[in-house]
């Protein structure tokens, strides 16, 4: 419910062209994004165990989440394009639509979600528990991988348009966006085949390859952005890797991070991402001290290091065991 509130508040404030109000809008949207990427997943995993479902079924849930996210993103892009042309609401119509959607999400959560309330420690105690969880080397490596992956995705969306329109080239952004989302949907379908039948791979076994390929796919955009077709293929390959990595990393989080600490730990994972993005925006966008190749290169290095971290987790995995998360220390 807080997600819907901050999302609606941020979209409402973005309609006013004043710097302070726009800053407030982005703060609200940042809080909403943080809640979106932590609270919903934590709630879902707890409810999954509470209802007695098998742990393996989380694989299907995670890839379906990514698949539906891609489908909804494509539909929302088309809807935003339609409502943007409404008379009298030009420019603000997509924001109004987002506000309505956020308010509907509050109503849906209020009527359909059950509150899984456990103990309610203080804020500092919750942070302390999350930091204590990071003493587990595998959790720490998983957190680093998650942070590097999130940073690479943010960098991609920050630079994909400037890269394509370099040297005055004209591109159809809407068509390319649709192809990118379709590539992510394809990645989620590949994940379903890998995690479920007929292969039943563990995420640790193929995720290093996926992150490695994702990093290599950004190499040409970073250092050779002459051919639009080559760039488009690289971007589609990267987004296919994103579609595979998103549910795979979510599955690993459900395996290695305890339920009562997941939201706090995932929020800590995102702190270095926000800091790195802030540095990129200030040094690259404001002061122009970082060129695009350097930013892309940093994202590539992060993905490759993440591949190494997941490979280490796979090597030290030991005997497979699927204990309920509630029974883990």
| pLDDT (0 to 100) of residue 88 | 53
Q: What is the pTM of this model?
A: 0.78
Domains of the chain and CATH, by start: 124-315 (1.20.1250.20)
Ranking 109-123, 130-144, 199-213 by mean pLDDT, the lowest is 109-123
Q: Report residue 270's pLDDT band, with 50, 70 and 90 as the boundaries.
A: confident
Q: What is the DSSP string of 82-118?
A: HHTTSTT-TTTHHHHHHHHHHHHHHHHHHHHPPP---
Please identify which residue in the block is written with the tokens 């959560």.
109
pLDDT band at 323; cut points 50, 70, 90: very low
Residue 326 is predicted with a pLDDT of 43
User: CB atoms < 10 A from the CB of 201, how many?
Assistant: 14
Q: Which residue has the tokens 């999954």?
A: 48
pLDDT digits (tens, 9 = 90+) for 61-99: 888 888 888 888 878 777 777 776 665 555 577 788 888
**Of the listed ranges 79-83, 155-159, 311-315, the one predicted with least confidence:** 79-83
* pLDDT reading at 225 higher than 70: no
In order, the DSSP letters of 212-261 are: HHHHHHTHHHHH----HHHHHHHHHHHHHHHHHHHHHHHHHHHHHS-GGG
pLDDT at 327 over 50: no
Q: Could you give the angle at which helices 228-256 and 39-50 cross, rounded to 10 degrees? A: 50
Rounded mean pLDDT, 281-302: 82
Q: What percent of the chain has pLDDT over 70?
A: 85
Query: How confident is the model over 238-264, as a mean pLDDT?
Result: 86
How far is it, in rounded angstroms, from Cα 327 to Cα 92? Answer: 49
- The model's confidence at residue 325, banded by pLDDT at 50, 70 and 90, is very low
Mean pLDDT of 306-322: 77
Distance CA 314, CA 311 (A): 5
pLDDT (0 to 100) of residue 320 = 44
Q: How confident is the model at residue 208 (pLDDT cuts 50, 70, 90)?
A: very high
Report in angstroms the alpha-carbon separations of 116 from 107, 123, 241, 254: 18, 18, 33, 17
| 318 vs 190: which has the higher pLDDT | 190
pLDDT, average across residues 209-233: 87
| pLDDT score at 149 | 94
328 versus 184: the higher-pLDDT residue is 184
What separation in angstroms does the CA of 131 have from each of 59, 136, 262, 267, 272? Answer: 27, 10, 11, 11, 14
Q: Is the pLDDT of residue 115 over 80?
A: no
> What share of the chain has pLDDT > 90, as a percent?
18
Q: How far is CA 9 from CA 95, 211, 261, in A?
A: 11, 36, 28
Choose the most confident range, by mean pLDDT, from 57-61, 149-153, 178-182, 199-203. 149-153
For the residues 248-264, what does the mean pLDDT come to?
82
For 101-109, what is the mean pLDDT?
87
Average pLDDT over all residues of the chain:
80
Kindly state the average pLDDT of the residues 106-122.
70
Q: Average pLDDT of 171-177?
A: 77
More confident residue, 1 or 300: 300
């Amino acid at each position: 419910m807080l997600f819907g509130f901050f999302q609606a508040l941020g979209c409402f404030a973005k309609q006013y062209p004043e710097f302070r109000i726009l800053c407030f809008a982005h703060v609200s949207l940042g809080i909403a994004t943080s809640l979106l990427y932590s609270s919903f997943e934590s709630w879902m995993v707890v409810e999954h165990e509470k209802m007695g479902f098998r742990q393996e079924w989380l694989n299907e849930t995670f890839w379906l989440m990514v698949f539906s996210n891609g489908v909804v993103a494509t539909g929302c892009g088309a809807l935003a394009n339609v409502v943007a042309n409404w008379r009298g609401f030009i420019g603000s119509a997509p924001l109004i639509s987002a506000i309505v959607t956020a308010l509907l999400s509050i109503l849906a959560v209020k009527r359909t979600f059950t509150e899984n309330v456990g103990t309610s420690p203080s804020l500092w105690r919750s942070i302390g528990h999350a930091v204590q969880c990071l003493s587990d080397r595998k959790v720490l490596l998983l957190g680093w991988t998650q942070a590097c992956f999130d940073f690479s995705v943010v960098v991609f969306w920050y630079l994909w348009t400037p890269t394509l329109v370099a040297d005055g080239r004209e591109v159809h952004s809407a068509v390319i966006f649709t192809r990118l989302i379709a590539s992510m949907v394809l990645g989620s379908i590949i994940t379903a085949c890998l995690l479920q039948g007929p292969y039943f791979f563990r995420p640790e076994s193929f995720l290093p390859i996926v992150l490695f390929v994702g990093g290599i796919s950004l190499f040409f955009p970073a250092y050779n952005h002459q051919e639009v077709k080559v760039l488009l293929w690289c971007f589609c390959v990267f987004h296919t890797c994103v579609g595979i990595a998103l549910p795979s990393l979510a599955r690993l989080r459900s395996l290695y991070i305890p339920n009562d600490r997941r939201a706090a730990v995932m929020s800590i994972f995102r702190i270095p991402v926000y800091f790195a993005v802030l540095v990129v925006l200030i040094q690259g966008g404001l002061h122009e001290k970082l060129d695009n190749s350097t930013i892309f290169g940093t994202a590539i290095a992060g993905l490759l290091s993440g591949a190494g971290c997941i490979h280490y987790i796979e090597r030290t995995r030991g005997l497979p065991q699927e204990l309920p998360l509630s029974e883990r220390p």
